[in-house]
Amino acid sequence: MTTVPDDKAISEAEMEARLHGICFKTGPPRRIGVELEWLMYDPHDPARPIEAARLEAAVTALRGLPLRSAITFEPGGQVELSSLPADSLTACVESAAADLVLVRSVLTGLGLGLAGHGHDPWRPPRRFLTTPRYECMESYFDRRGPAGRSMMCNTASVQVCVDAGHEEPGPLGMARRWRLAHLLGAVLTAAFANSPLRQGRPTGYRSTRQALWTAMEPGRTHAPADGRDPRTAWSHYVLDAPVMAIREEKAPWTVPSGVTFRRWARTGLPRPPTHDDLDFHISTLFPPSARAATWNCA
């Protein structure tokens, strides 16, 4: 078990202050960013799983590109481009599009393509990445059924990142923009739904991706409670969400059951949580407007 020095442990009050102060930096809403996720597939046989060696070669080649966006990879081998903050929508689109041209060119040379489906319409879920994070995530979600594994390995999306807005009330105020982001979530999901198939068969949903995310776990996929100011709503949501994993340095990570972050902080078991634990915990929460909930997070 990893022990934590007293000066690194974080109290419940410090957690709330951190969530209030870091995740909602206010000011004129000017910047915009985007995260683009894509499924990799073989155009000659889309239903064929891509061999691990081909995926590894693609990852190595893509990481060597001179991109402006950050490039990362999801558990099933999905490609994700995270743009830099832009001062206008046009600048954001142009920058992301230029990076996407480079990515497509490299993959074409490797006999691979990118598909913009919300859920893989051809293949069953198969995890490519074997990091402790994704091993714990898979174990955690498997307790509730197959939805979590499909989310990890078979889904992709477009996520728009925006500034919080002004502190003061008004059309550009943070509270109004927070509420609009959540109200528009269902509208945008319906407007852009494009995942009616799973393993070649209709699922009955226009957005199989959204159906899976809704089924995974309410405590980390449903929206924060309405009727509160954004900072309070978000801090309560984070601290009352179940802990997915407790990271350890020299031992396998712990996958707890039914332990909220608030309870972990109050009991200090199996060890007191730290700032890093809180940041990691936030990264495992997936409310419908997650980007709205983490505007300007450092």
DSSP-assigned states of every residue in 91-102 = HHHHHHHHHHHH
Q: Token pair 């239903």 is at which residue?
A: 47
For the chain, count helices (H), then strands (E): 12, 7
Query: Is there a domain that residue 108 lies in?
Result: yes
Can you give the pLDDT at residue 294?
34
d(CA 49, CA 122): 9
* Plot region of 143 (φ>0 → left; ψ -120 to 50 → alpha; else → beta): alpha
Provide the domain count of the chain.
1
* R_g over Cα of the chain: 20
Query: Is there a domain that residue 245 lies in?
Result: no
**pLDDT exceeds cutoff 90 at 236:** yes
The predicted-structure confidence for 142-165, as pLDDT tens digits, reads as follows: 999 999 999 999 999 999 999 989
Over residues 159-183, mean pLDDT: 89
Cβ-based burial of 164 (10 A; exposed 0-12, middle 13-18, buried ≥19): buried
Amino acid identity of residue 177, one-letter, is R
pLDDT greater at residue 291 or residue 135: 135
Residue 148's domain comprises: 28-221
Query: Is there a domain that residue 185 lies in?
Result: yes
Residue 124, helix vs strand vs coil: coil
**Of 2-11, 31-40, 175-184, 274-283, minimum mean pLDDT range:** 2-11
Query: Is there a domain that residue 123 lies in?
Result: yes
Can you give the pLDDT at residue 293?
34
Query: Is there a domain that residue 163 lies in?
Result: yes
**Of 67-71, 113-117, 222-226, minimum mean pLDDT range:** 222-226
Contact in structure between 172 and 165 (CB atoms under 8 Å): yes
Domain containing 107 — which CATH number?
3.30.590.20
Can you give the pLDDT at residue 295?
33
Residue 202, helix vs strand vs coil: strand
Can you give the pLDDT at residue 170?
86
Query: Is there a domain that residue 41 lies in?
Result: yes
Contact in structure between 99 and 207 (CB atoms under 8 Å): no
Query: Is there a domain that residue 133 lies in?
Result: yes
Query: Is there a domain that residue 14 lies in?
Result: no
Q: Is the pTM of this model over 0.75?
A: yes
Can you give the pLDDT at residue 119?
97
